[in-house]
Amino acid sequence: MSFSEFQLLSVLAQELNMRKAAERLFVSQPALSQRLQSIEKQWGAQLFLRTQKGLVVTPAGEIVIQLANEILEKEEKVREAIRTLDSKVHGTLKIACATIVGQNWLPKVLKKFVEKYPYAKISLITGWSSEILRSIYEDEVHIGIVRGLNDWKSSKIHLFEDPLYLVDREIDSLEEVPAADRPFIQFKSDSNYYQEIMDWWHREFQTSPKQTIVVDQIETCKQMVFNGIGYAILPAITLNGAEIRHLHKIPLQGEHGEPLKRDTWLLGYDAAFELKQVRAFVEVVEEYIAARPHIL
């Protein structure tokens, strides 16, 4: 099989739709169908079942597609190695980033990166910090940006501290919280963040919230607070824009009176930090932080 045929199978497996795959591959559907039949003839097996709803991968197809993806991945790594010999920054920078950082901090850094290195490409995925760590362990990305404490043993760079606040339209001191007839709005998060908040809450109030609303995203939680539905504990990185002028922000303190905060880290394996595009990104990050030491 040729390299283009491996690409064809990989795209078909991703889309499971002839029309969408043809559009991505810049070929007509009849031409794509003909090429697929030729590939299946080479293997002596049907790789996809054609149904009214789209394509279904056969057991034989799973094996061949796995081979195709492995070859494509190896090809990309070889290309990256070759690009490091070039004076310009090429290649794809693969980043996995905690969602909250990807929404509020990272876009400003990436803007500077693409302006400075227009030949580089960016692949970005977001999720919880536990998911980011798994992506790095499984070698799906070059670097990850995670929140909170971690025991990463390879390369690690501290990006910023993010203070936590109790935020509400009505409550303006912690003393009002236990008696307040308002719901505490929580967003789903990594277990370590949730535990940190619960530990603080029980130290401060020795009781559970009277009423709780749980939402799936931090952005939903923030908008509910902005609209006066209840109060929440939010990191400073989310508290920007005109909406916060109407809110009370009460800083949280730890057991010994220190500000309660979340640390954000950039981390990855040492080998990844040797790639030219990763080194370039780290330089942009360091320049950005140096120019804005107190701005998230």
Q: If you average pLDDT over residues 141-164, what whole number do you get?
A: 90
DSSP the chain: --HHHHHHHHHHHHH--HHHHHHHHTS-HHHHHHHHHHHHHHHTS--EEEETTEEEE-HHHHHHHHHHHHHHHHHHHHHHHHHTTSSS--SEEEEEEEHHHHHHTHHHHHHHHHHH-TT-EEEEEEE-HHHHHHHHHTTS-SEEEEES-----SEEEEEEEEEEEEEESS--SGGGTTT--SPEEEE---HHHHHHHHHHHHHHHSS--SSEEEES-HHHHHHHHHTTS-BEEEEGGG--SGGGGGSEEEE-B-TTSPBPEEEEEEEE-TTGGGSHHHHHHHHHHHHHHHH-TT--
Instruction: Tell me the pLDDT of the chain averaged across its residues.
Output: 90
Q: What pLDDT is attached to residue 245? A: 80
Among 29-38, 81-90, 120-129, the range scoring the smallest mean pLDDT is 81-90
**pTM: predicted TM-score of the whole model, two decimal places:** 0.68
Torsion of CA 207, 211, 216, 221, to 10 degrees: -100
Please indicate, yes or no, whether residues 136 and 219 belong to a single structural domain of this protein: no
Please indicate, yes or no, whether residues 193 and 139 belong to a single structural domain of this protein: no
> Is 79 a domain residue?
yes
Q: What pLDDT is attached to residue 168? A: 94
Q: What pLDDT is attached to residue 295? A: 52
Query: Could you tell me which residues are beta bridge partners of residue 161?
Result: 263
Please indicate, yes or no, whether residues 119 and 243 belong to a single structural domain of this protein: no
CA distance 23 to 19: 6
Final residue before a domain boundary, out of 28, 51, 83: 83
Q: What pLDDT is attached to residue 206? A: 86
The parent domain of residue 273 ranges over 92-157+262-291
CATH number of residue 61's parent domain = 1.10.10.10
> In the structure, what pLDDT confidence band is assigned to residue 85 with cuts at 50, 70 and 90?
low
> Is 22 a domain residue?
yes
> Is 209 a domain residue?
yes
Q: What pLDDT is attached to residue 115? A: 94
Final residue before a domain boundary, out of 83, 103, 135: 83
Please say if the pLDDT value at position 278 is more than 70: yes
Please indicate, yes or no, whether residues 220 and 257 belong to a single structural domain of this protein: yes
Q: What pLDDT is attached to residue 171? A: 93
Residues with Cβ < 8 Å from 283, sequence gap 6 or more?
none
> Is 237 a domain residue?
yes
- Which of these, 285, 253, 235, 283, lies nearest to 100 by C-alpha position? 235
Q: Based on the structure, what is the number of domains in the chain? A: 3
Please say if the pLDDT value at position 182 is more than 70: yes
> How far are the Cα atoms of 45, 159, 162, 222, 246 from residue 296, in angstroms, in the given order?
55, 9, 8, 17, 20
Q: If you average pLDDT over residues 175-183, what whole number do you get?
A: 90
Antiparallel, parallel or unpaired: β 184-187 and 155-168? unpaired
Q: What pLDDT is attached to residue 229? A: 95
Share of the chain above pLDDT 90, in %: 64
Q: If you average pLDDT over residues 229-245, what whole number do you get?
A: 86
> In the structure, what pLDDT confidence band is assigned to residue 87 with cuts at 50, 70 and 90?
low
